[in-house]
Amino acid sequence: LDSFAYHRQVHRPDMFQGIHGLMTTSGEDWAKVRTATNPVLMQPRNARLYLNTLLEINDEFMERIRHIRDPVTNEMPADFHDDLNRLTLEGIVGVALNTRLGMIHKNRDSPECKQLLQSIRDFFDLSEDLEIKPSIWKIVKTPKFYKLMKTLDLLADLCNKYIDEAIKQIEMDSDGKFTSEVGKENSVLEKLLRIDRRIAVVMALDMMMAGVDTTSSTLTGILFCIAKNPDKQQKLFEELKSILPNKDSRLTIENMQNLPYLRACIKEGIRYHPLILGTLRSLPTDVVLSGYRIPAGIDIMISSNLLLRNEEFVKEPNKFIPERWLRNDTEGKEYYIDNPFVYLPFGFGPRSCVGKRIVDLELEITLTRLVRNFVTEFNYSTENAFIPKLISQPAIPLKFKFEERNE
């Protein structure tokens, strides 16, 4: 994302002070930030610290569904994707800053909240125009380039406002000193403040900017699969009911260990509706691939979205079969995907997605609460349900039907 890098390195160097985050850097600059963030974001035990925060947000989201669904059909309004975006942003802010914005209910009509969501949408749309479609912005600064710079300025200002408020609260709670005991901090921001204030601010900003549409679109794809495959949904419900006998039974770190079919449904949903085209890397040296010499500096991509629907690698790729991910499942044995490089939704190696643990947790909690509370249906075609942009985004009204389950 060269335009994104331009904003941080050329347009607003005063704001970022030499720390440009993980998305726009490489080499030693990237390694410095990644080394600092790995212990905070990539260890499962750290991600699980945010379970109660995300459960609280999801409880509020369940009530939102009950409030906005059609009283006759139990269908969601056509703009339900906006509610999914609000859910994921509220969760990200809860994890990153230990702060509630009230996006789901309390402050949902706040001009500031609406502006934040719209700016995130504009960021993805404009980045696609400048980075994916043909553009001459590197030669002549175009109107869309200036609009993106303005959007990124606005996003940074809005996010930094919440970040500054969170830092002030941390300082007040600790009498001006950050928590001294490692592991007792309440947010990603507070953990990273112990390491480097500049890294803490930029990573919190990146989480808020990059984690919303990505997580909500992923969740949407999985919901499509579950809604269109009632037999799989019933099997998932039975697994969930075994550890959550009642709707208000609470998820815990302990009982979440016993949800293999839930995780299989998530993996299969991501395979069926991949978020991105694939894994992109820039070559540091010349290489020869399949007899072709590719010079250093060229970007190459593993097109996972094509591999995941290729019968050479995936048996019956156009069917939703969560069992293919269960190694001890007799039914799924013939559908196993043997090549580990076919399925790389979070990338691979040192540059794999730093937010994977948080995304996994948010998806697991939300799907558990939805399937345990409601029978989910989608009584419309899902053909061409997503439009491939910078990431895949829903292209149809998300009129899911959520019918209350009997206890």
Residues in binding site: 353
What is the rounded distance in angstroms from the CA atom of residue 226 to the CA atom of residue 347?
A: 24
Q: Can you tell me which residue has the tokens 């005063």?
A: 14
Output the six-digit token pair for 11. 């347009």
What is the rounded distance in angstroms from the CA atom of residue 226 to the CA atom of residue 220?
A: 10
Q: Are 94 and 54 in contact (CB under 8 A)?
A: yes
For residue 1, how many C-alpha atoms fall within 13 Å in the half-sphere facing its CB? 25
Output the six-digit token pair for 393. 């985004």
What is the rounded distance in angstroms from the CA atom of residue 197 to the CA atom of residue 195?
A: 7
Output the six-digit token pair for 228. 């269109």
φ/ψ of 106, rounded to 5, equals: -55, -50
123, 293, 309, 314, 383 from 318: Cα distances, Å:
32, 35, 7, 9, 12
What is the rounded distance in angstroms from the CA atom of residue 191 to the CA atom of residue 204?
A: 11
Q: Are 113 and 82 in contact (CB under 8 A)?
A: no
Q: Are 115 and 150 in contact (CB under 8 A)?
A: no
Q: Can you tell me which residue has the tokens 């859910």?
A: 87
Closest CA to 322 of 274, 383, 268: 268
CA-angle at 218, arms to 214 and 220, nearest 5°: 120
Residues tagged in the binding site annotation for heme: 353
DSSP code per residue over 15-67: HHTT---SSS--HHHHHHHHHHHHHHHT-HHHHGGGHHHHHHHHHHHHHHHHH
What is the rounded distance in angstroms from the CA atom of residue 291 to the CA atom of residue 306?
A: 22
List of long-range contacts for 141-150, beta carbons under 8 Å, 24+ apart = 145/3, 147/122, 148/3, 148/7, 148/122, 148/123, 149/7, 149/11
DSSP code per residue over 243-258: H--STTPPP-TTGGGG
